[in-house]
Structure 1
């Protein structure tokens, strides 16, 4: 899984996974002060202003930039933050959000006609079983609605992944940062419509107190460490190694997320939830390895076709190198 990754780069991938795992604790702290929809608008506004001033616009079609912002930014975080505010434990949220990997693969096959191998479908099936196990456990403790909301957030992330893939940016970090420009206005409109001026005003008027300091610390961590540092290192790694080699390290995110939530917030997942989480991780890892194998098979068939003077390379649909490797929070 990690063959060919130098020790330093492997350590950096683990650092990014740790950063993103802790990010769910940071979100939990911020939600204690701000309404969830307004918090999403605030988070991305803090990213959007310096991005507009200092980061060159990525050379991608506007429709895919907007699609990435709406899927990855608006849909994902609307449902994730709302689900966590409704009672979804932060550690468990870090696990359920990994469903974006299988969702990306299925949507890529259905909407983009991407090739999917048998091992990948088996990985999807395993991940689905794991999610079902976690969902049944959540239903047993009257927490099904927050679970479904976070699962919808994973679906939004998957839709954003498709737009990012179609955009094919020469500099993925620029696309990640410019995606933030799309988010604040629709999220502020949603917040005003659903949460109201009173709730927003109350959260802001009490935000400059000692009690609100953890919320601002969590927001600063999410913006500066989680997005700028974490995504920056991850993009640097992906520019130097195949995504199928780097991507599986994202499976450490729920491990760190659940461990951090257990230590700081004293969250204790049930044995059934832990078992379901193990099955989910196994399914995603199996699907990632299948993506690498399917991509290699397509490249071999294409090479043989060229040698026989058959199909031109442009007529063969490639399996994306990215498989279902994920980006961070």
Structure 2
């Protein structure tokens, strides 16, 4: 696996963690049509996390939902790490892992969920998150000394225009929500580069459990200070939380593990480029969430830009 493949998969830290921790896929006897359907099912399930967040933030404050997700997913991954006897980070390495977790989990999802709770469409949030490989490449060039090619610079430009058009079309929703989206992107990207520089070699199962468990109390405290701790619809809240934790924090990563066993990481990584468009489609089908024409054009340009920027 190349260094750039590592960066692509590092965009989704939970995916790396559970994929590495998951047992064999057990799909050797699966019919060919089932194996062929796995990528499409994976993209739909991954994209559904943004729609589930809309339901969850509609029933409870966004930081409360984020705290519940971190707490449950942290316990679940800690159990996986203990059962598999994964080595846990210690000393200074533990501090580095905590910093990565606060950036990639607390900052990213705290900001993204709050933006979704403020009414920003999931497709736009997914597009901003999908711009992560571009920002990582820029940071890696400055911090890690990695070379950026002319085609990458072209992709950065096209992608930036796409993201700009998409978020400009949603400024009427909330300027603060759009800003929060970019705060979440910055947390994810800085955390990924920090992880690449300081926490190489740690076990992904135990380290990701630390990410969640370190982020949960921080988000929980912010929720206590800034939000009204009231769940208006326990049914919607429980369903959204269960989907996010079990489907988006376990199920999709088992599918990812299956694909990584059968295909090149670079090929699997391209599936994430479909997430913004599929998220926008799911948002329209499930909850009637529509995008204005400017945002749709932005989604298309943003996806093309990211493909140009990260393609080998």
Residue 241 (structure 1) shift: 4.2
For 1:79, what is the secondary structure of its paired residue? helix
Q: State the partner residue of 2:70.
A: 44
Residue 14 (structure 1) shift: 2.6
Distance 2:226 2:39 in 1: 38
Within 5 Å, which residues of 2 pair with 1:219-258? 219-238=241-260, 241-258=263-280
Judge which range, 25-34 or 107-116, deviates more.
107-116
Judge which range, 141-150 or 8-17, deviates more.
8-17
* CA shift in 2, pair 1:58/1:260, >3 Å: farther
* Contact persistence 1:173–1:235 (CA under 8 A): no
Q: Which has the higher contact order (CA 8 A, sep 6+)?
A: 2
Residue 277 (structure 1) shift: 0.8
| Equivalent residues, number | 274
Residue 240 (structure 1) shift: 5.5
Within 5 Å, which residues of 2 pair with 1:140-151? 141-151=172-182
* CA shift in 2, pair 1:54/1:133, >3 Å: closer
* Contact persistence 2:160–2:302 (CA under 8 A): yes
Aligned: 1:107 with 2:139:
yes
Deviations along 1:224-244, one digit per CA (max 9) or x if unpaired, are 110111123324534654432
Q: State the partner residue of 1:322.
A: none
Q: Pick from 169, 180, 190: which aligns with 1:159? A: 190
Q: Pick from 195, 208, 217: which aligns with 2:239? A: 217
Distance 1:64 1:118 in 2: 33
* CA shift in 2, pair 1:260/1:142, >3 Å: closer
* Contact persistence 2:62–2:114 (CA under 8 A): yes
TM-score, with length taken from structure 1: 0.76
Q: Pick from 79, 93, 102: which aligns with 1:53? A: 79
**Unaligned regions of 5+ residues in structure 1, if any?**
1-5, 293-329
Which entry has the higher C-alpha Rg, 1 or 2? 1
**Unaligned regions of 5+ residues in structure 2, if any?**
1-31
Q: State the partner residue of 2:19.
A: none
Distance 2:60 2:253 in 1: 24
Distance 1:220 1:142 in 2: 28
Aligned: 1:179 with 2:211:
yes
Within 5 Å, which residues of 2 pair with 1:14-29? 14-29=40-55
Aligned: 1:286 with 2:308:
yes
Deviations along 1:204-254, one digit per CA (max 9) or x if unpaired, are xx5xxxx42122111101001101111233245346544322111001211
* CA shift in 2, pair 1:50/1:136, >3 Å: closer
Deviations along 1:52-79, one digit per CA (max 9) or x if unpaired, are 3341445653244223211211110111
* CA shift in 2, pair 1:260/1:127, >3 Å: same
* Contact persistence 2:78–2:206 (CA under 8 A): no
* Contact persistence 2:67–2:220 (CA under 8 A): yes
Distance 1:72 1:278 in 2: 26
